[in-house]
Each structure stands twice: as C-alpha cells, then as structure tokens.
Homo-oligomer: A and B are copies of this chain.
Amino acid sequence: MREFELIDRLAERVGEAGVAGGERVMIGIGDDAAVTDPPGATVTSVDMIVEGVHFRRSTGSLREAGRKALATALSDIAAMGAEAGEAYVGLGVPPDLDQDGALDLLAGLADVAAETGTALVGGDVTAAPAIALAVTVVGHVESADAAVGRGGAAPGQVVCITGELGGAAAGLLLTERPELREEVDAEVADALVRRLNDPRPRLAAGAALARSGAAAMIDVSDGLGADAGHVARASEAWLTIDLGDVPVQEGVAEVASAAGLDAFDLAAGGGEDYELLAALAPDLVEDASAAVRETGAALSVIGRVSTGCGVELRATDGSVRPARGFEHRGTG
C-alpha cells in the first residue's frame, strides 16, 4: 500500500508547490497518464540519478539531491534553447528511506520546479535497493527548427560560454579534502561547494542564445573538453578553445593549486558546472552577449570553429592539452 500513499502525498506536494506552467496541463498526477497541450515542438530529456553514484545521504541533504536531479535534467532543456515545461519523476525508494525522506527529495524537486516554471505532472514510485530518481523533463519551442542541437557548429563561427567554469570541480575537491578550505575565504569556499550541490540550469540564457542565432549548443556537464568534443563530433567540425579566455570562478585557482593542479584542469576537465557552450557566427556575438547579460549571466568568446573533427584546448603558453582531463562523473 505504501506506493499508493506515497503517490497521494506526491500529488499533494505538487499541488502545494503551486507550480507554474500548469496552463498546459489538462490532466495531472492521479490518472493513467498526464495530458498536456504543447504549444509547438517538444524537447524531452531523461536523467537518471542513483544514490551512491550521483549523491550520498552522508554528504548532502535529500532536498539538495532532489533539487540537483531536476536542475541537471532541466539543463538539457536549457541547452536546446527551450522553455521549461513539464517534469515526470520515477522514484525508487529503498527500505531505509522513510516517507519524510521521500518527501524531502520531492520538496527539492518541487523547489526547482517552482523556481523554473516547470510543472511536476506525473510520477511512479516503487521499491528499490537504493534511491533512484529518473527525471524526464519536457521543454517547449515554437517549432522544431527553433531547437538548437549539437550538430550546427560550422567553420568560421566562434565558440562562447556562459558564466564561469571550474566551480563544481573545486567544490568537489573541497568536499573530499576539507583541509583545502584554508586556501580560500569561507564565502568563496561555500560558493564553490554550492556550485557543485545546487546547480542552476541556464534556461533564460539558453533561450536568449537560441533567439540570438546560436547554431549549436550543449550544457557543460561532462567537462568543457568532453562537451566541446560532443559538439565537434555531432557537427563534424574542429573546435579550438583558448583556455586563457575561459572565465574561471573565484577561488578555483587557489583550490586547484593547493591540490597540485591548475585552474584549467578544473575549468576544462571538471564538468558539472552546467554552463552553456554555444557556437555562433561572429557578427551575432555582440547581440547575443547583451541578450545573455539581461538574464544575469556573462557570455565569453573562448574559441573558434574550423574544418576537421575534434577539439583542441590551447593553454596560455601555446601548448595543447588533451581534451579530456578528468574521468566523467555525474549525469549527462
């Protein structure tokens, strides 16, 4: 019977959250399926988050885990330039997670849903050996042509990035090696750890980049080098990134140095910053920067697209780094 009770509580929780976007939802939680009325083309992504792989109850709250699960899923919607629409959640509940714990997870999801205008409209709850959260997110674009895929980068375009990189990787180092906190101010350290644990999907910036004519876009979840590689492969193009032009979050250099690394090891190899990497024509950069700035983020030109198929990360001393510094962790 626990499944039915949890579904009822999930439905209540979602109702309480008063999430936006509901005007598209005709039938929500509690039927065989949700019914929505999409305004144009639909963008859909699924992310699976598993306890012990993507998070641990010992190092973070369940509410944070719920927040991060939806936020990282929405980052894929941002990377298509789409508006957040609906989310559907599959939740696996282990024997040692009580109802309050499950509701904490859902509260985290509901928080991010409310912050981003996402309607939580469907779910399935089942027993499982560990917490498993499968989040399917749906975004909306006017038409399929308006969605920005990975495959549109072409020679002559420039490569841009929103915000700053390296923060999540530095936050992970601080979490794993607390003695490194001595290298930076407490506020800076907190911001780095927050970057890791509470990522914010760049939905407004993604939509702005799409409107500004971005030809290809991806969110930086696997690391700058790896994600630039995904664009290169999908576009059959060569991406050259000048690491000296990559904006690095405050404190990253100090934490990296204390760990025997440099800032670009974290900024280019670390992943999980959930900034957006975009390729666009050079004459569009000025307007795109202004549009992204209005959403509260900076846009920086960090490289260029040429012929070939691959990625080159150029260090400030002119040396070329391997495109993948760190092993992939976390979610796509």
Q: Residues of A at under 8 Å CB distance from B?
A: 1, 3-4, 7, 26-27, 30-38, 41-50, 52-54, 76-77, 79-80, 82, 86, 88-92, 121-130, 132, 134, 136-139, 141, 143-144, 147, 149-151, 217-219, 234, 327-328, 331-332
Instruction: Tell me which residues across on chain B come within 8 A of A141, comparing CB atoms.
Output: 35
Instruction: Tell me which residues across on chain B come within 8 A of A126, comparing CB atoms.
Output: 48-50, 53-54, 331
- Contact indicator B50/A44 (Cβ below 8 Å): no
Instruction: Tell me which residues across on chain B come within 8 A of A42, comparing CB atoms.
Output: 35-38, 42
- Contact indicator B41/A36 (Cβ below 8 Å): yes
Number of copies: 2
- Contact indicator A41/B35 (Cβ below 8 Å): yes
**A66–B138 alpha-carbon span in the complex (Å):** 24
Known: A30-B234, A33-B77, A33-B79. A128 touches B132 (CB 8 A): yes
A196 CB to closest chain B CB, in angstroms? 18
- Contact indicator A50/B332 (Cβ below 8 Å): no
Instruction: Tell me which residues across on chain B come within 8 A of A36, comparing CB atoms.
Output: 41-42, 44, 144
Q: Which one of B27, B35, B45, B53 lies within 8 Å of A127 (CB-CB)?
A: B53
Instruction: Tell me which residues across on chain B come within 8 A of A7, comparing CB atoms.
Output: 332
Known: A26-B147, A45-B122, A144-B26. A132 touches B92 (CB 8 A): yes
